[in-house]
Amino acid sequence: MKADKYLDTLIVGAGFAGMYILHKQMSEGFKVEIYEQADDVGGTWYWNKYPGARCDIESMDYSYSFSEDLQQEWNWKEKYGTQPELLKYARFVCKKFNLRKNINFNTKITNAKFSKEKWTITADNQNIIECENLILATGNLSTPNTPNIEGINNFKGNIYHTGAWPKQMPEFKNRKVGIIGTGSSAVQSIPVISNTAEALLVFQRTPNFSLPARHRDLPKDKREEYKKNYEKYRQLAKNSSFGIAKYQPPTQSTFEVSDEERNVIYEKAWQEGGQAMLFAFTDLLIDEKANETAAEFVRNKIRKIVTNKETAEKLCPSNHPIGTKRLCLDSNYYETYNKTNVSLIDISNHPIEKITEKGLITNNIEYFFDDLVFATGFDAMTGAVNAIEILNDKDISLKSIWSNGPKTYLGIMVSDFPNLFMITGPQSPGVKSQMILSIEQHVDFIHNLIVYKKGNNYNRVNANSKNQDQWVNHNNEVANATLYPLAHSWYNGDNIVGKSKGFMPYVGGVANYKKICDEKIQNNYEGFEFT
């Protein structure tokens, strides 16, 4: 079948990753386009419109660094960017760099097949595009997970998912609302929904640790100081473990100080807000006993905040070390459970049996509500990639290669899938870093790799299978040296029934990862094969 279009590069996804690689490729004169299933840019910040949605990284960090003009022109209004502000920022970037003309909206890529030195791509509108390079900028948290609960289609009220929120904000005033889940999106939305709902029923399987964000408007002097010293702050971020300028490596371990000193340090971190507590000591994520001191500090805070003792204990996590699941940041989350219209229903030992026309049943009790919200997260990191049927020239699917867990080289390529690139893919820092910083590093690497391939008259680049195996093993070794694998989390794929389990992000640190990538470049792109 004849192709409708031929491109040098096709990019899937118009979030922050897709827009930056599009800009890079356009600047080099590549014939390049994005295909995006939404009707606008923004990616994660397009879809996640739920009440209270905001970033958990401070705005001045969570932004592009590639353009000094952009850094100086854009003014963040709040400490943590809200979903509307982040979407506005994405649109601003799109307009500033004239990207929209190269983006195909309302188009979902369904199939990709490599043959005869090119990818043949099929979209849901039946358009066929051929390209030399295929770049997946599909995001790590972009495939919502809705549990397969009996009777879900029987519910007569409204059903929402925090990861696919409708454009028109639902009105919860004078309505009874049920929400399933107490992860990040629930922690942000529960306080907001409770402000108007007649009743809010929270169904919790596993409590998570949440720390106060201490959110506020961003003072002008703070913003201007950051702008004047952006280069310094960006460099600090690049040299850190998680890509965040303000969180530099601690210098002392947990038990080097007295109990009194330790509590003073934790209290200071709690009052500061954000993720400061995880950076209090060197061993919090590698030593269980050390971690327990921070975990118990937070549990005691929960017990002091929540007036009902039984509810407080239900909200105290006990089955994983603090920080090993995605740490939540909140604004008055625990305080919300002191409201008379909010109820916490523990389903850890009594799973939801079925959804009914008017509510749901658990522990042989039926709970009634008008609206049901799923705050049940995503098929993280691999879900969006596996949603596309990707075949190599041997008719082997990427999904089948990943059936026992993802295998990548640096989180960028997969062996035997030539000219296929992933931005912040599995086994890269991605979700365990400041995402935009990691996006920029990946985009620069991938773009330069493509330029190198073209400049040397190569048709394809492929990841060496031996180097890939070594990288996968290294990723696992680094993870197993920490406490992360002790938690049942989406980092491991534990939230998806039937998904192969294995720790997916690289937790060796942003600075170390970049050093490794730079060494590969210096060694003529070691581990990459050109033909």
- Domain of 131 in residue numbering reads as 5-143+379-530
Q: Is the pLDDT of residue 1 over 80?
A: no
Dihedral sign for Cα 49, 53, 57, 59, please: positive
> Cα(71)–Cα(79) distance, rounded to whole angstroms?
16
Q: Are residues 210 and 325 in the same domain?
A: yes
Q: Are residues 62 and 188 in the same domain?
A: no
Q: Is the pLDDT of residue 395 over 90?
A: yes
- Which SS3 state, helix, strand or coil, does residue 262 take? helix
> Cα(223)–Cα(73) distance, rounded to whole angstroms?
12
Cα–Cα distances (Å) from 373 to 117, 180, 195, 336, 408, in that order, read: 46, 6, 16, 17, 35
For 13, phi then psi, to 5°, come to 110, 130
Q: What is the pLDDT of residue 72?
A: 98
> Cα(517)–Cα(448) distance, rounded to whole angstroms?
12
User: What distance, in Å, lies between the first and last C-alpha atoms of the chain?
Assistant: 27
Q: Are residues 345 and 388 in the same domain?
A: no
Q: In residues, how long is the chain?
A: 531
Q: Are residues 428 and 281 in the same domain?
A: no
Q: What is the pLDDT of residue 8?
A: 98
- Which SS3 state, helix, strand or coil, does residue 291 take? helix
- Please report the DSSP string for 63-107 in residue order: S--S-HHHHHH----BSEEEHHHHHHHHHHHHHHTT-GGGEE-S-
Contact call for residues 158 and 372 (beta carbons, < 8 A): yes
Q: Are residues 400 and 334 in the same domain?
A: no
Cα–Cα distances (Å) from 218 to 81, 138, 178, 213, in that order, read: 10, 30, 34, 13
Domain end point (choices 371, 393, 413): 371
When pLDDT is averaged across residues 100-129 and rounded to a whole number, the result is 97
Give the model confidence (pLDDT) of 149-159 as tens digits. 999 999 999 99
CATH of residue 10's domain is: 3.50.50.60
Domain end point (choices 371, 395, 410): 371
Question: How many structural domains does the chain have?
Answer: 2
Q: Is the pLDDT of residue 213 over 90?
A: yes
When pLDDT is averaged across residues 328-346 and rounded to a whole number, the result is 98
Q: What is the pLDDT of residue 352?
A: 97
Q: Is the pLDDT of residue 2 over 90?
A: no
Q: What is the pLDDT of residue 405?
A: 95
> Cα(445)–Cα(463) distance, rounded to whole angstroms?
14
When pLDDT is averaged across residues 403-431 and rounded to a whole number, the result is 97
Q: Are residues 349 and 423 in the same domain?
A: no
Q: What is the pLDDT of residue 249?
A: 87
Q: What is the pTM of this model?
A: 0.97
Beta-sheet strands, E only, within 116-229: 118-123, 128-136, 158-161, 176-180, 199-204, 210-212
Cα–Cα distances (Å) from 380 to 31, 385, 414, 494, in that order, read: 31, 10, 18, 10
Contact call for residues 9 and 25 (beta carbons, < 8 A): yes
Count other Cβ atoms within 10 Å, centred on residue 153: 7
Q: What is the pLDDT of residue 248?
A: 83
Q: Are residues 14 and 122 in the same domain?
A: yes
As a whole-number percent, the residues of the chain with pLDDT over 70 amount to 100
166: its two tokens: 């409708």
Give the model confidence (pLDDT) of 478-505 as tens digits. 999 999 999 999 999 999 998 988 999 9
Domain end point (choices 371, 399, 429): 371
Q: What is the pLDDT of residue 501?
A: 86
Q: Are residues 419 and 481 in the same domain?
A: yes
When pLDDT is averaged across residues 238-266 and rounded to a whole number, the result is 95
Q: Are residues 297 and 427 in the same domain?
A: no
287: alpha, beta or left? (left if phi > 0; alpha if psi -120 to 50): beta
Q: Are residues 116 and 184 in the same domain?
A: no
Average pLDDT along the chain: 97
Q: Are residues 197 and 331 in the same domain?
A: yes
Q: Are residues 60 and 180 in the same domain?
A: no
